[in-house]
Amino acid sequence: MSTRQLSRDLDGHPTEILVQTYVDRVFVLVTQLGKVGTLIQASLPDTTPLLPAPPPDPLYPNQVLPPPPPAIQLTPLFGSAPSEHTQTLHSLYAAQIATIVWLQEGFGSIGNRRRSVVVGLALKKSDDGGHDEGVTEREKVVFQGVMSSLQELLSRQ
């Protein structure tokens, strides 16, 4: 088992990212609350190919992420989101984190055995009020910060 971790300030909140690799799974914890929070397992059939990230958009060069495959299976393991909005956001986090992990491990091509990725999420609630208008700016900033931090952490040897 190997463990890597990183701490970043995202939108004014200390954010810890921990990655532990096991023989059969990879565990990724993203917390701003110092606890595990909601656990979601992401899995994908070995026969489903993963697409690399698209070329960067000149207007947003740092916001390029690989697209999660439609065949990804998300299974809630522990805890539940307090709202439908948060549940959708957690699913987006789990799918994107798993896709980054699988591509970083080099299992993007068909036929390689992919480990399931278990994602723990404990993020501060947004103070932006209702979510009728969709994702808030704070949620976008934190999401992008988590994903770029995870990519950096996984690229370390």
pLDDT in tens, 7-19: 999 999 999 999 9
What pLDDT score was predicted for residue 101?
94
pTM of the predicted model as reported, rounded to 2 decimal places? 0.89
51-104 pLDDT, tens per residue? 877 777 676 666 678 889 999 999 999 998 888 999 999 999 999 999 999 988
Q: How many domains does the chain have?
A: 1
Is 2 inside a domain boundary? no
Is 64 inside a domain boundary? yes
Is 3 inside a domain boundary? no
Question: From its phi and psi, is residue 61 left (phi > 0), alpha (psi between -120 and 50) or beta?
Answer: alpha
Looking up residue 66, the CATH number of its domain turns out to be 3.30.230.90
Range of the domain at 66: 8-155
The tokens for 34 are: 């110092």
Residue 100: count of CB within 10 angstroms of its CB: 23
Is 1 inside a domain boundary? no
Is 18 inside a domain boundary? yes
